[in-house]
């Protein structure tokens, strides 16, 4: 079976994922959070970078630890924003405990670089030229390209409020303010990219177990160094997830599996390529059910 793996970013995590990670820690999985943070295990707390990033990564590794030995080597792996840390880990760039430390550091650096009062807005139903011009007029930037008419813009919240009215007047089909306070994937995060690159430079280079697609430009990296360079750069450069989906389609996998939390990437992929089987780990009640689905494809 030719299997492509994609790893979720922030937004789909819920309290149940927190509980699963805590149960994993009790069974010997590397500890994710300090005791004071664990005590704040509420829906509100798990939206904060400092908690969300290591929590999501740890949940992805718990799922992968169960699935990995039972699956063929992926034809490629890719990750949406934070999910690219998990993609690099699964490809062999570093171990899971190091990945948790990297997520904690990534969150710290992003929080330090993010201007106060920032956020992100999903814009659906408008063309790129319209979105780009309106964003530039209001001091915002396109942060993510999810499709020809699906974008995420980021910047100061006062600009986002004005942008919502502008995009509505232009005929946007849907506008969604995201539950994040960081203008990720925009130039204002350049300091976080540079500092994270210095942290990643400590990791030895070598050949990866499978290609990692960069979320910036879908370049298939087969060595640790270039993959980690892309991982640092995507903090302050726009992501082109639409191009990643196109590249995965060109690899002709039998199925695409999203390792969550959530299933946002699976839904995006189903819209992009309805003929390609795609599901998310969170769609299944058990690993057995997930493996039964994958078993249909060889």
Longest Cα pair distance anywhere in the chain, in angstroms? Answer: 54
CB atoms within 10 A of CB 117: 12
pLDDT single digits (tens) 149-194? 999 999 999 999 999 999 999 999 999 999 889 999 999 999 999 9
Q: Position of tokens 């992968």?
A: 64
- 3-class SS of residue 144: strand
* 200, 258: one domain: yes
- Last residue of some domain: 152, 177, 202? 177
Which domain covers residue 293, as residue numbers? 3-113+187-297
* 281, 212: one domain: yes
Model-level pTM?
0.92
pLDDT single digits (tens) 57-100? 999 999 999 999 999 999 999 999 999 999 999 999 999 999 99
* 71, 127: one domain: no
- Last residue of some domain: 177, 212, 227? 177
E strand intervals along the chain: 3-7, 76-79, 118-124, 141-147, 150-156, 174-177, 207-213, 220-223, 239-240, 255-259, 278-280
* 291, 197: one domain: yes
Q: How many domains are there within the chain?
A: 2
pLDDT single digits (tens) 206-240? 999 999 999 999 999 999 999 999 999 999 999 99
* 192, 222: one domain: yes
CATH classification of the domain holding 243: 3.40.366.10
pLDDT single digits (tens) 23-45? 665 445 555 555 444 444 455 57
Q: Which of 79, 76, 73, 6 lies closest to 220, judged by CA?
A: 76
* 149, 12: one domain: no
Residue 182, in any domain of the structure: no
Residue 26 is predicted with a pLDDT of 44
Retrieve residue 110's tokens.
């992003």
- Last residue of some domain: 158, 177, 196? 177
C-alpha distances out from residue 98 to 92, 105, 202, 203, Å = 11, 11, 11, 10
Helix (H) or strand (E) holding 20: helix 15-26
């Amino acid at each position: 079976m030719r299997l492509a793996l994609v790893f979720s970013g922030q937004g789909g995590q819920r309290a149940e994922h927190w509980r699963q990670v805590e149960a994993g820690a009790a069974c010997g999985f590397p500890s994710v959070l300090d005791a004071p943070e664990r005590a704040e295990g509420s829906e509100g707390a798990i939206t904060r970078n400092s908690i969300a990033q290591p929590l999501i990564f740890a949940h992805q590794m718990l799922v992968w630890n169960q699935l990995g030995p039972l699956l063929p080597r992926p034809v490629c792996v890719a990750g949406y924003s934070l999910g690219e840390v998990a993609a690099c880990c699964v490809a062999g760039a570093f171990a899971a405990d190091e990945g948790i430390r990297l997520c904690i550091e990534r969150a710290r650096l992003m929080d330090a670089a993010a201007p106060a009062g920032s956020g992100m807005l999903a814009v659906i139903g408008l063309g790129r030229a319209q979105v780009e011009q309106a964003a530039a007029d209001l001091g915002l930037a396109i942060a993510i390209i999810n499709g020809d008419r699906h974008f995420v813009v980021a910047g100061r919240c006062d600009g986002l409020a004005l942008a919502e009215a502008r995009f509505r007047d232009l005929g946007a089909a849907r506008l969604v303010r995201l539950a994040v306070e960081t203008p990720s994937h925009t130039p204002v995060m350049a300091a976080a990219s540079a500092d994270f690159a210095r942290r990643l430079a400590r990791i030895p280079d070598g050949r990866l177990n499978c290609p990692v697609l960069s979320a910036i430009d879908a370049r298939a990296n087969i060595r640790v160094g270039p993959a980690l360079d892309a991982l640092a750069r995507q903090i302050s450069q726009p992501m082109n997830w639409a191009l990643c989906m196109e590249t995965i389609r060109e690899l002709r996998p039998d199925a695409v599996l999203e390792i969550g939390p959530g299933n946002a990437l699976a839904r995006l992929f189903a819209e992009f390529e309805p003929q390609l089987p795609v599901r998310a780990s969170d769609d299944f009640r058990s690993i057995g059910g997930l493996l039964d689905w994958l078993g249909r494809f060889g």
